[in-house]
Structure 1
Amino acid sequence: MKILIMDDDEALRYMLTEIFTFVGWEPKAFPNGREGIKEFLSHGADIILVDYHMPEIDGLETVRLIREHDQLVPILVLTVDERQEIADRFLDEGATDFALKPVKAPDLIARVQLHKRLLDMTKTVQATPKFQYEVFVTKGISQSTLSYIERYLAASEEPSTVEEISHELGLATPTVYRYLTYLVHNGKVQPLPSYQKMGRPKNRYHWIE
């Protein structure tokens, strides 16, 4: 599996290259989005990792430019910023998911494997004769990730929090929250306030379709 890494942190590029090489994958690392995009357009990739803050072309612009050429390749954003508004901007541009810094090797490997499986499923469906498959349901919502979350919620006997769903599915919390918001808006999921001993109530999400 070929993985493109775009990050201006030399130490992180080295660490990620070592991690992916140890697993048996083929990583190629670049210090900015401009060089990474050039490599992708020339030789492709199975998974792309993009840093948020980079010189020349930042992560948001990098994601946007990649999506102009390829709607399928999974793009994971490397970031220390967990704010939902930042996540929403990246998802709007076509990012697939997030990997929070500092990077933990087991979590990152599992997340890459997950999105490769989802990509393979999408390609299999697209190859089905006479079957029309939309990669993105709407802006920031991919069909494969949406179906993955829907299947989990439909099979769950008890309502779950964003954090519980994130842990069980191996998706970043901001990604899960964005998809749950979409499902609530479309009447497929109901948020149920769960009152804690301390702090504000936390929603649990229940599949109602």
Structure 2
Amino acid sequence: MTKILIVDDDEKIRFTLREISKFAGFESIAVDNGKQALAQLGEEDFDLVLVDYYMPEMDGLETVKAMREINREIPVVILTVDERPETVSRFFAAGATDFSLKPVRAADLISRLQINLKLSQMTQLQKEKKREVLTAKGISPSTLQLIIDFLQKQAGPVTLEEIMEGVGLAYPTVYRYITHLLDEGWIYTLSNYRKIGRPKNQYVWKGIDHG
């Protein structure tokens, strides 16, 4: 059963949100502040978090930012009476997935929750399929991320030898992963023409401008 974490300092609203969740077929746990929410998120698995914007001590934005340190993928929907564009932008900058307006309307809220849960499920399925494809190609996600992190930190083009030294992996391994990144279009090649010998290929993470 889908499990939702509800965070709101108003007892009546917590009760209402739990009843709405129950009606929609969701299991829910409700807490009254951000610190309790972080503790729950660290101890249990949830499918979505519903958090109030205006709360004492630790407001919704602070709570969401702290949640993203624990879980970067869980959908987080903020409840708010303030729908000004600048406020909504702050929600998304903090790491929220969506927002829903107060006063709460059951049908609207359930629709929001269902949409965000569906999108989250689709994202997870895509990631699982991607992992399966990588495994079939002999690509380890952790090793791939190691090389990607190295490339993203570079101020300029790097050779295979520099990548090997930077990540501590052998030539055949680095070559296989660089070939994969080229095939996926995540990096591109620059040829360094020297006075003697063949040009030496260098690799650049896309998005870096080298003129």
TM range (shorter): 0.5 to 0.7
Q: Give the distance between the partners of 1:70 and 1:37, measured in 2 at CA.
A: 10
Tell me the TM-score normalised to structure 1 length.
0.61
**What is the CA distance between 1:49 and its match in structure 2?**
0.5
Provide the residue aligned with 2:112 in structure 1: 111
Provide the residue aligned with 2:37 in structure 1: 36
Provide the residue aligned with 1:27 in structure 2: 28
Provide the residue aligned with 1:162 in structure 2: none
Query: How far does the alpha carbon of each residue in 1:80-105 deviate from its partner, in whole angstroms, 9 at most, with x for none?
Result: 00111111111011101111000100
Q: Give the distance between the partners of 1:93 and 1:112, measured in 2 at CA.
A: 19
Q: Give the distance between the partners of 1:112 and 1:15, measured in 2 at CA.
A: 15
Provide the residue aligned with 1:194 in structure 2: none
Matching of residues 84-163 of structure 1 within 5 Å? 84-128=85-129, 129-130=132-133
- Where structure 2 has 5 or more consecutive residues not aligned to the other structure, the ranges are 135-140, 142-211
Which aligned segments of 4 or more residues in structure 1 are displaced greater than 3 angstroms?
none
8 Å contact 2:41–2:70 — kept in the other structure? Answer: no
Q: Give the distance between the partners of 1:50 and 1:44, measured in 2 at CA.
A: 16
- Where structure 1 has 5 or more consecutive residues not aligned to the other structure, the ranges are 133-209
8 Å contact 1:34–1:56 — kept in the other structure? Answer: no
Query: How far does the alpha carbon of each residue in 1:63-95 deviate from its partner, in whole angstroms, 9 at most, with x for none?
Result: 001111211110000000011111111101110
Query: Which stretch shows the higher mean deviation, 114-123 or 52-61?
Result: 52-61
- Residue 108 of structure 1 aligns to a residue whose secondary structure is helix
Provide the residue aligned with 2:53 in structure 1: 52
**What is the CA distance between 1:57 and its match in structure 2?**
1.1
Corresponding letter in the other structure for 1:90:
F
8 Å contact 1:7–1:51 — kept in the other structure? Answer: yes
8 Å contact 2:49–2:75 — kept in the other structure? Answer: yes
Provide the residue aligned with 1:75 in structure 2: 76
Provide the residue aligned with 1:5 in structure 2: 6
- Residue 127 of structure 1 aligns to a residue whose secondary structure is helix
8 Å contact 2:21–2:27 — kept in the other structure? Answer: yes
Tell me the TM-score normalised to structure 2 length.
0.60
Q: Give the distance between the partners of 1:49 and 1:65, measured in 2 at CA.
A: 14
- Residue 78 of structure 2 aligns to a residue whose secondary structure is strand
Q: Which structure would you say has the larger RCO, counting Cα contacts within 8 Å and 6 or more residues apart? A: 1
Q: Give the distance between the partners of 1:51 and 1:102, measured in 2 at CA.
A: 11
Provide the residue aligned with 2:65 in structure 1: 64
Q: Give the distance between the partners of 2:70 and 2:29, measured in 1 at CA.
A: 19
8 Å contact 1:47–1:75 — kept in the other structure? Answer: yes
Q: CA RMSD in A?
A: 1.2
Report how many aligned residue pairs link the two structures: 132
